[in-house]
Amino acid sequence: MRILHTSDWHAGKAWKGQSRLDELEVVLDDLASVVERERVDLVLMTGDVFDTSSPSAEAERLVFRFFRRVGQLRVPSVVIAGNHDSPARVEAWAQLAELAQVTACGVVKPHDQGGCVTLDVASGERVVVGMVPFVGPSQFLSAEELGASPDDAGARYARRMERLVTGISAGFRADAVNILMAHTHLQGAAVGTSERRVHVAEAWAADPGMLPPTAQYVALGHIHRHQQIVGAPVPTWYAGAPMQLDFGEEGEPKAWNLVDAQPGQPAHVEPRPYAGARPLRTVTVTAAELI
C-alpha cells in the first residue's frame, strides 16, 4: 500500500500582506499529479488545512478542488482538524466531502464511533486509520488543573493524551495496515519559528513512547519542520508545512512523505521535496545600492 502524507497547508495565509494562495495552488496541483503518477492508494492530511477557523472562499475552493481531483482518481483521503481549523466546520463539510472519498474528522471520537475508519484501497489491501484531531490543554484539563504547577498540569495532559491514543488504537486490526494520525506536539520535535508558541510549549508535549506499537506508521501534523521522531516505537513523522512560513524558516527544506506499508511490518518512508512554493531569502544591500 502506498500512502502520501502531507500536512499544515495553512490555506489562506497572508504573510507580510501578501497572499500565498498562488504558491499553494502549484503545490497542490503537483501533489495531485503525484497521486496519479505514483499510484498512491491513500492521502493523509494531518491538520491545519486552513490558516483560520473562517477561511476565505478562495482558500476553500483551492482545497476542495484538490480533494475532488484526488477523489476522481478513486483514491480516498483522510483529514483531521488542526489547531487553526474549526472543528465544527470540518465536521460540517465532512458530510459533503464523503462524495469525493474524503473522511474528515474535526473532533475526537471513540474508535467504534468514528474515531477509526476502515478503508479498502485500490491495491486490494485494507487500512485502518485512527484519527486524533487537535486537543488543547483546556479540552483535557479543568480550570483547577490548569492552575496547578506547570509540571503537574503537563503530566496530567500527557497521561490523558496517552489514554486517548490507546483508546483510538484499540480499533487497529492484525490483518490491516494500521495508521495513527494526530495533530499534536511530541517530545523531541524540533520546533520552528512559525508555530503558535502557546500550542507548542514543551509542557504540553506528549511522550512518543505512548504511541501504539501496532501501528505501521504514525502521521503527525502541527510542527512545521519536516522530521522523524526518533524515540517513537514505530516510524513516526511530521510532514511539516509545504512552504517556508516566515524568515525563521529561511533555507529550511520542505517535504512530504511517500509511505509504503503492509500489515505487521514497519512502514518504509521516503521524503519527497515539495514543488511550487517560493523560497524565502534575505537580500542585503548597501544604502548606496538603493539610490
Residue-level pLDDT at 290? 67
Express each pLDDT in 23-32 by its tens digit. Answer: 999 999 999 9
Cα dihedral across residues 199, 203, 208, 212: positive or negative:
negative
Q: Which residues of 190-208 are buried (b: 16+ CB within 10 A; e: fewer)?
A: ebbebbeeebbeeebbbeb
Residue-level pLDDT at 198? 44
Give percent of the chain above pLDDT 90: 70
The interaxial angle of helices 57-72 and 21-37, nearest 10 deg, is 10
Residue-level pLDDT at 252? 80
Residue-level pLDDT at 142? 52
Express each pLDDT in 36-66 by its tens digit. Answer: 999 999 999 999 999 999 999 999 999 999 9
Residue-level pLDDT at 197? 46
Residue-level pLDDT at 291? 66
pTM for this predicted structure: 0.89
CB 69 within 8 A of CB 102: no
Residue-level pLDDT at 170? 96
Cα–Cα nearest to 213, from 234, 187, 236: 234
Q: Which residues of 72-83 are buried (b: 16+ CB within 10 A; e: fewer)?
A: eeebbbbbbbbb
Helices (H), 39-149: 57-72, 87-97, 137-140, 143-146
CB 238 within 8 A of CB 255: no
Residue-level pLDDT at 27? 95
Residues of the chain with pLDDT under 50: 197-200
Instruction: List CB contacts of 98: < 8 A, sequence separation 6 or more.
Output: none
Residue 219 bridge partners (DSSP): 181, 237
Q: 3-class DSSP state for residue 271?
A: strand
Average pLDDT, the chain: 88
CB 42 within 8 A of CB 78: yes
Residue 63's identity, in one-letter code, is V
